[in-house]
């Protein structure tokens, strides 16, 4: 089947989508957006997080057909023109990226948190990121990055 959706503000189409195909697969393999990562394909790790009509979802658990006519934002959509967006920059500057596999999901969850709550406490940050798993960083640098992104937005 063909699906039509808006991705990062641009109208896109994908053909030959099969009924059981995930949105994650369609984004990566059909629409050329490899930012969202496939780590578990079971809704456990958060590395595939995108926004569907503004709401964070695990794109590995969403059928591509469910995105028909809807708006999807991927990590590629967090850029600020040709530059990194503020949350992306904070992760780089605070050393919150090692292998990077989890990073797109953390970026999406962090931006969602800061859009809802610009000055989160540490427990609120931990709760917001509880669905994102990282095997490399020990999480402290990620917490530093979220705090830095929040401080930057407050300036
Ligand atoms: S790949 Fe979707 S939650 Fe892990
Ligand atoms: S940086 Fe490697 S899994 Fe998080």
Write out pLDDT tens, residues 17-42. Answer: 999 999 999 999 999 999 999 999 99
**What residue ranges in the chain does DSSP mark as E strands?**
3-7, 10-14, 49-52, 55-58, 71-73
**Ligand 1 centroid to residue 112 C-alpha, Å:** 17
pLDDT at 154 over 90: no
Q: Does the beta carbon of 47 lie inside 6 Å of ligand 1? A: yes
The closest-lying atom of ligand 2 relative to the alpha carbon of residue 39 is 3
Same-domain status, 95 and 71: no
Same-domain status, 71 and 98: no
Same-domain status, 47 and 101: no
CA neighbor of 95 nearest in space, from 49, 137, 127, 133: 137
CATH number at residue 71: 3.10.20.30
Structural domain of residue 31, as residue ranges? 3-77
Write out pLDDT tens, residues 53-75. Answer: 999 999 999 999 999 999 999 99
| pTM confidence score | 0.96
Q: Does the beta carbon of 136 lie inside 6 Å of ligand 2? A: yes
CATH number at residue 137: 1.10.150.120
CA neighbor of 101 nearest in space, from 37, 10, 28: 37
Q: 47, 101 in Cβ contact below 8 A? A: yes
Q: Could you give the number of structural domains in the chain?
A: 2
């Amino acid at each position: 089947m063909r699906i039509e959706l808006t991705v990062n503000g641009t109208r896109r189409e994908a053909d030959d989508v099969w009924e059981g195909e995930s949105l994650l697969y369609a984004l990566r393999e059909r629409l050329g957006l490899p930012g969202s990562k496939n780590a578990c394909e079971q809704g456990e790790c958060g590395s595939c997080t995108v926004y569907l009509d503004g709401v964070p979802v695990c794109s590995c658990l969403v059928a591509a057909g469910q995105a028909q006519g809807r708006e999807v934002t991927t990590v590629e959509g967090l850029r600020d023109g040709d530059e990194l967006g503020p949350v992306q920059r904070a992760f780089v500057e605070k050393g919150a990226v090692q292998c990077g596999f989890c990073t797109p999901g953390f970026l999406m969850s962090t931006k969602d948190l800061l859009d809802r709550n610009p000055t989160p406490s540490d427990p609120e940050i931990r709760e917001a990121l509880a669905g994102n798993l990282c095997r490399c960083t020990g999480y402290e640098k990620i917490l530093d990055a979220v705090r830095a992104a929040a401080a930057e937005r407050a300036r």
